[in-house]
């Protein structure tokens, strides 16, 4: 019995490792969640002073995480909502991995995000409308996933958006045409078999079915 008590205590000490950095904590949740066969996240030790010395993480002068460069890193698993806590993040580069599951709506909290690259993964679910809060976003690439549902109309208010790619998904509904969306070409939307054309201005109303 004494052994079990000790064992329990040991477990608590190991599992309950506290750490003092909220951003490091948030990133560490990602490490816990994902499968990392090439050990690219090996340096992600939550007991360190801050996550700024972790490889693939970049901080500003105030030790706040501004970039996460994990493109083409052979990672799989789900994206964690905790990523939404990295409030100074500018670049979230998770492209060309095997991430599954939905895009966490919490990414809409990343007010400083300039680039969101989640292309070439196996993400499912719909594009969270909360991404419309990313007022500094210039690049949004969600192409080559298995995203479904409509393109949230709210995204058209992203005034700084220069590059949009949602091609090669399973999106449906019509393509918004107003605001920043007026400048994107068909290429941004291609290979979404259920995606209808843009709303026409004054001529034909296309059937917007196929989205239910």
Partner 1 sequence: MKTSHRAFIFLLHVLLFSLHPLKITSSARTEAAALVKWKNSLSSPPLNSWSLGNLRNLCRWTGILCKNGGSVSEINLSNASLSGTLDQLDFTAFPNLTRLDLSFNNFSGSIPSSIGSISIATSLDLSNNVLEDIIPAEIGNLIELQYISLYNNNLKGQVPHQIGKLQKVQHMDFGSNYLVSPQWYQITSFPLLTHLSFGYNEITSGFPDFILGCWNLTYLDLSQNHLTELIPESLFVNLGKLEYLNLSTNSFLGPLSSNLTKLSKLKNLRLATNKLSGSVPDIFNSMPNLEILELFNNSFQGKIPSSLGQLKNLQKLDLRENGLNSTIPLDLGLCTNLTYLALATNSLTESLPLSLSNLTKLTELGLSDNNLSGDVSPYFISNWTQLISLQLQNNLFTGEIPSEIGLLTDLNTLFLYNNTFSGSIPPEIGNLKNLTLMDLSGNRLSGIIPRTIKNLTNLQILKLSSNGLTGTVPPKIGDLTSLETLDVSTNQLSGQLPESISNLSALQTISLFSNEFSGIIPHDLGKNSPKLANVSFSNNSFTGELPSGLCSGFLLNQFTVNNNNFTGRLPGCLKNCSSLNRVRLEGNRFSGNISDAFGVHPNLEFISLSRNQFTGQLSTKWGQYERLTNLQMDQNKISGVIPAELGNLTQLRVLNLDSNELIGEIPVGLGNLTELLNLYLSNNQLTGEIPRTIGRLTKLQYLDLSANKIGGGIPEDLGNCESLQFLNLSKNILSGNIPSELGNLNGLRYLLDLSNNSLSGTIPPNLGKLTSLENLNLSNNKISGRIPFAGSYGYMAPELALTMKVTEKCDVYSFGVVALELMMGRHPGEFISSLSSSTTTAAALQSNPDLFLKDLLDQRLSPPTGQIADGVAFLVTLALACTQASPESRPNMRFVAQELSAKTQAYFPEPLGTIKVSKLTNFQK
Which positions touch partner 1 (CB under 8 A)? 1, 4-5, 8-9, 12, 15-16, 18-21, 43, 48-50, 53, 55-56, 63, 69, 71-72, 175, 177, 182-183, 185-186, 197-198, 200-201, 203-204
Q: What is the sign of the dihedral through the CA atoms of 126, 24, 87 and 89?
A: negative
- Pick between residue 21 and residue 121 the one whose CB is nearest to partner 1: 21
Instruction: Name residue, tokens 């949602």.
Output: 166
- Pick between residue 121 and residue 130 the one whose CB is nearest to partner 1: 121
Q: How far is the CB of 147 from partner 1 (least distance, A)?
A: 20
Q: How far is the CB of 12 from partner 1 (least distance, A)?
A: 6
Q: How far is the CB of 195 from partner 1 (least distance, A)?
A: 12
- Pick between residue 30 and residue 130 the one whose CB is nearest to partner 1: 30
E-strand stretches of 91-206 = 91-93, 98-101, 115-117, 122-123, 139-141, 148-150, 163-165, 170-175, 194-198
- Pick between residue 37 and residue 203 the one whose CB is nearest to partner 1: 203
Kindly list the distances between the CA atom of residue 64 and the CA atoms of 14, 41, 91, 100, 197, in Å, as whole numbers in the listed order: 27, 18, 13, 27, 42
Closest of 70, 72, 37 to residue 144, by C-alpha: 72
């Amino acid at each position: 019995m004494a052994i079990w008590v000790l064992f329990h205590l040991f477990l608590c000490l190991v599992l309950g490792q506290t750490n003092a950095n909220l951003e490091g904590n948030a990133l560490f949740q990602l490490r816990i969640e994902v499968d990392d066969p090439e050990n690219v996240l090996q340096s992600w030790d939550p007991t360190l002073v801050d996550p700024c010395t972790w490889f693939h993480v970049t901080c500003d002068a105030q030790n706040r995480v501004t970039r996460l460069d994990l493109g083409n890193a052979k990672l799989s698993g789900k994206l964690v909502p905790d990523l939404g806590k990295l409030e100074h993040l500018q670049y979230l580069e998770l492209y060309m991995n095997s991430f599954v599951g939905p895009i966490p709506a919490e990414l809409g909290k990343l007010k400083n995000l300039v680039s969101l690259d989640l292309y070439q993964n196996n993400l499912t679910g719909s594009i969270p409308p909360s991404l419309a809060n990313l007022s500094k976003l210039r690049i949004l690439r969600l192409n080559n996933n298995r995203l479904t549902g409509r393109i949230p109309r709210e995204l058209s208010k992203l005034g700084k958006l220069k590059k949009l790619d949602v091609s090669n998904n399973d999106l449906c509904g019509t393509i918004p045409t107003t605001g920043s969306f007026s400048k994107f070409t068909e290429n941004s939307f291609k290979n979404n078999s259920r995606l209808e054309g843009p709303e026409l201005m004054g001529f034909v109303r296309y059937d917007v079915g196929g989205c239910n």
